[in-house]
Amino acid sequence: MEVTIFGSGYVGLVTGACLAEVGNNVLCVDVDAQKIERLNAGGVPIYEPGLDDMIRRNAAAGRLAFSTDLAAGVAHGLFQFIAVGTPPDEDGSADLKHVLSVATTIGECMDTYRIVVDKSTVPVGTADRVAERIREKQRERGVTVEFDVVSNPEFLKEGAAIEDFMRPDRIVVGTDNPRTGELLRALYAPFNRSHDRLMVMDVRSAELTKYAANAILATKISFMNELSNIAEAVGADIEQVRVGIGSDPRIGYQFIYPGCGYGGSCFPKDVRALERTATAVGYTAELLHAVESVNFRQKEILFRKIADYFDGSLHGKVIALWGLAFKPNTDDMREASSRRLMEQLWDAGAKVQAFDPVAMEETRRIYGERADLTLVDDPMSTLDGADALAIVTEWTQFRSPDFTALRARLRRPVIFDGRNILDHGQVTAAGITYFSIGRGPMEPHA
């Protein structure tokens, strides 16, 4: 099938590459000429395991192309996927200017039937606004061309997006036209073979499903972090509590890991946008507000622990930092806990020596060159001259360090583990003081 993807960011590239992988002819269109030039030269502007190889393979096979020609994109595909960004506006609502800009282009250029697919995460009612914008542009042209607008939200996890798209848990299609639903079913047939994962529903329900899914997951994380703070205050161990409640099949183990807050491009933005949607229709979403408030507070927990340990005097201290991305297997630092921690440390006069397997370039892009930030090439080198180690991202390679070597390289033998990934027995046995989430401080063995 002929498919056009507007937007060559995270969602657009993964969607385009995976659709091309199963034989479709995909054109990815973006207004960023530099990004398109890089893609046409074989580069990939984001880090996602397996994505670079898939893009290059399908581009070489002629199934995946990149262009800045918006009109060519409208002419190319029966399916017109809108996969542009929806950044938060000042009031927390989703900014739809890029989505509506694509709708404007489609309305101005289309001359035959098109299925417009909202792939971006958008508020309830966006499909109506997209449809009205297309009709408006057609009226200005004095033409009437049939089209349908479909909600088809993405459910991709950064770091596992290829697997999620190729073997989805569910494929949600929101449409009021049965014919359009069947055309989407045909497009997704290669990803829907072992059993039917495609769910057709009305457009507004599909739009809300995406926000609801992310809000529930964010709620589980914030609730577990709230419990972790209670556990620490009353002398309990949140990790033992986690195992105790996770064994209940009604609760399960997913998304109940305590930590130093969630980040990324989805959970923070979507929780705020859903809360704003509720406010717009006269409903006060108290739980959603609490989820975000708890998360904001949780992002400051490592700084408070570090500041308390040094009696509030951090000026001139050097903190080693392991992990900069908001989660493993991505270079995405949007609303990452590492950013809040570093900025608090800098405000207190401390310096940071940091390492991340893939997010170093992104860190340089965000912060530039500064005297209080040193990026090093391996995790152990961050420890040289450092007064403490803070772990912020749960990369696998951080889980079993050489604790004897670690202790020898730190000025003070102390670790602040924001993801509870280390074995506290091994840490304290090596003569290192250990601070984690939801547990009291653990001193070295005598």
Catalytic (active-site) positions: 266
Q: How many other C-beta atoms lie within 10 A of the C-beta of residue 216? A: 11
- What residue has token string 């009353």? 234
- Could you tell me the sign of the dihedral formed by the alpha carbons of 229, 235, 239, 240, in that order? negative
Cα separations in angstroms, 104 against 22, 140, 193 = 30, 11, 36
Cα separations in angstroms, 239 against 246, 253, 259, 276, 435 = 10, 11, 11, 34, 13
Q: What is the DSSP letter of 61?
A: T
Structure tokens at 23: 């034989």
- Please enumerate in sequence order all residues whose Cβ is within 8 A of that of 127, keeping only pairs 6 or more positions apart, or say none: 118, 149, 150, 151, 174, 203, 204, 207
Going by C-alpha positions, the residue among 173, 181, 162 that lies closest to residue 21 is 162
Q: How many other C-beta atoms lie within 10 A of the C-beta of residue 425? A: 11
Q: How far apart are CA 213 and CA 202, in angstroms?
A: 17
- Identify the three-state secondary structure at position 374: strand
- Identify the three-state secondary structure at position 271: helix
- Identify the three-state secondary structure at position 19: helix
Q: How far apart are CA 294 and CA 229, in angstroms?
A: 10
- What residue has token string 């622990």? 305
